[in-house]
Amino acid sequence: MGRGLSDTSWRGGAIVTDDPARFRTEKSAASYGLGNKLARIIWVFAWTVLARWTPPPLWAWRRSLLRLFGAQVGRGAQVHASVRIWLPARLAIGRNALIGPRVTLYNQGRISIGERSVVSQGAHLCASSHNVRDPGFGLVEREIAVGSGCWIAAEAFVGPGVTMGDGAVLGARAVLFEDAEPMTIYRGNPATALKERQWRG
């Protein structure tokens, strides 16, 4: 199920440890350097000026802009203009995937979304947390991996470190903190398996 933390490591400047005695508190509050912050400022400015106002049919333009800033975006992927992305360089979107209106991809840790997957309006994917055993709440980056053919329904939340197997479905406003098995439908808070997903016919 959900992946645990390593004993002690650094990922992108973030503290990842289960041993509170090893925390370096000077890094706990500010986990990212100046270069990262400048990149995010430029990205937000560029998306606001060049993409935020664009109508839905301009999928290719928004794909190109995401790629320019380091995202891996497959052919035919559709990303709505109102999507909020923390840093494109830590994002991968497969072919023909759909990222709906007002989706938040808080990808301090990497987020990957497989081909033909759908992330519906208002959904929130959060690939980081804070270590509560650290007095300074050191940042912990944990990758989210969404398989192919998945559906994350409206206003659902996917927490850090989660993997959704191919074909998994997360219901509207559900909250997922554990891995989702392939071809399984989940709902609720916390999300639990409802039934196996089956193809019609």
Percent of the chain with pLDDT over 90: 77
- pLDDT of 201: 67
**In three state form, how does the secondary structure of the chain look?**
CCCCCCCEEEECCEEEECCHHHCCHHHHCCCCCHHHHHHHHHHHHHHHHHCCCCCCCCHHHHHHHHHHCCCEECCCCEECCCCEECCHHHEEECCCCEECCCCEEECCCCEEECCCCEECCCCEEECEEECCCCCCCCEEECCEEECCCCEECCCCEECCCCEECCCCEECCCCEECCCECCCEEEECCCCEEEEECCCCC
Dist. CA 147–CA 145, nearest whole Å: 6
Q: Which residue from 70, 66, 75 is spatially nearest to 47, judged by alpha carbons? A: 66
For the ranges 15-24, 81-90, 160-169, the lowest mean pLDDT is seen at 15-24
Distances in whole angstroms, Cα of residue 178 to Cα of each of 9, 32, 72, 92: 22, 27, 25, 21
CATH of domain 8-17+25-193: 2.160.10.10
Question: What is the per-residue pLDDT across 105-161, written as a single tens digit (0 to 9) for each?
Answer: 999 999 999 999 999 999 999 999 998 888 888 899 999 999 999 999 999 999 999
Q: What is the mean pLDDT of residues 167-186?
A: 98
Dihedral, 82, 86, 89, 95 alpha carbons, nearest 10: -40
> Cα 74 to the chain's mean position, in Å?
16
* pLDDT over 70 at 16, yes or no: no
Average pLDDT, the chain: 87
| Domain residue extents for the chain | 8-17+25-193
Amino acid, single-letter form, for residue 105: L
